[in-house]
Amino acid sequence: QGKQQGKNTYRFYTTDMESDITNNIRLKMELRNALEKNQFFIHYQPKVSLESEQIEGVEALLRWEHEELGLVSPNEFIPVIEETGMIHAIGEWILKTVCTQHKVWRDQGYPTLKVAVNLSPIQLKDPDIIEKITDILQETNMEPEWLEFEITETSLIENKKEATKILKKLRKMGIRIAIDDFGTGYSSLHLLKRLPVDILKIDRAFIQDNDDHAILESILEMAKKLQLTVVAEGVETKEQLDYLKDQYCQEAQGFFISHPLSKEKLESFVNAQLSREKSKYLKIC
Ligand code: C2E
Ligand code: MG
Ligand code: MG
Ligand code: MG
């Protein structure tokens, strides 16, 4: 296509591609030792109930900070660790870290939050995935009831048979399954009914675009019929939050509620909510 637009366009296009390739090679190299160098950490984004406006749970989001490159976006480095297979080791590290942190919070007396971990489609192809997850939960004293896994709609469709088998096993263990970025793929109602899922996370595109409200409302209606919990992603304004409340959406997540937070900042977020509750109670007395 670049060729048809003349020589300059073509050259520009090539340079762009070259820099993409160089960038990819650099990332691959730097990621190789990232785990050993402790360059990964987890941020936690609160999820609130729209009825009570209380924090219900958090989504664990992987962060990578490199000494020269700085903080690299997961959208950039996750495809690289998937491609190289590093996602297996890093995925185990994520789950172990999150479950260990959850135990610390429980021991410190924080209210027990649900925690959602993103699972890569590559991890779903690992024949030992169930065993690995079982071991980590046992090792870290984590109840499966506190855990959710988020899987994107597209990864479910691409690998339907195998993925369905694994998700069924996870659910049997008591772990809830969420479809992430729902609406961006091509799940039909028919497919959704047969998939072993508990939660739909509606992609932020449908929350943020007013023209998509018809789609949003029909997703909510369908989810209700299938008895799925609905989480709205990417809530950035009060108007969006109020609208979702009107539509009886159950949960919301987004910058308006909170950005993803370091573990210390999440503790402050929870503490602030606890003291608000306490002061409400004192006023009533
Ligand atoms: P996701 O699982 O759909 O996560 C939500 C992403 O949206 C996060 O980006 C979050 O920071 C961002 N977000 C949350 N609220 C808002 C909002 O109100 N507005 C906007 N514009 N964005 C919002 P992040 O952390 O950069 O992650 C991007 C994607 O990378 C994730 O999408 C997920 O697919 C993947 N990812 C992140 N952490 C992990 C992980 O631990 N494992 C795996 N396999 N994938 C991960
Ligand atoms: Mg997610
Ligand atoms: Mg999402
Ligand atoms: Mg996403």
Judge whether residue 8 has pLDDT over 50. Answer: no
180 lines ligand 1 (CB under 6 A): yes
Section 24-51 average pLDDT: 96
Q: Cα of 280 to ligand 3 centre, how many Å?
A: 33
Q: Dump pLDDT digits (tens) for 74-109.
A: 999 999 999 999 999 999 999 999 999 999 999 999
Mean pLDDT for 140-165 is 92
Q: What is the pLDDT of residue 158?
A: 82
Q: What is the mean pLDDT of residues 260-274?
A: 97
Q: Is 258 in the pocket of ligand 1 (CB under 6 A)?
A: no
**The ligand 1 atom nearest the CA atom of 256:** 18
Tell which residue, 170, 160, 169, has the closest CA to residue 190: 160
Q: Distance between CA atoms of 243 and 231, rounded to whole angstroms?
A: 13
CA of 246 to the centre of ligand 1 (A): 26
Helix 129-140, helix 87-107: angle, nearest 10:
30
Phi and psi at residue 17, to the nearest 5°: -65, -40
User: Could you give the CA distance from residue 87 to residue 94 in angstroms, rounded to a whole number?
Assistant: 10
**Which whole-number Å values give the CA distances from 269 to 125, 204, 259, 266, 273, in the listed order?**
36, 23, 11, 5, 6
> How far is Cα 189 from Cα 173, in angstroms, rounded to an integer?
26
What is the DSSP secondary-structure string of 80-122?
HHHHTSTHHHHHHHHHHHHHHHHHHHHHTTPPPPEEEEE--TT
Closest residue by Cα to atom 4, ligand 1, is: 61
> Which residue has a Cα nearest atom 27 of ligand 1?
74
Q: What is the per-residue pLDDT for 15? A: 65
Share of the chain above pLDDT 90, in %: 74
Q: What is the pLDDT averaged over residues 6-35?
A: 75
Between CA 220 and CA 232 the distance in angstroms is 10
Calculate mean pLDDT across residues 276-285: 72
Residue 12 pLDDT exceeds 60: no
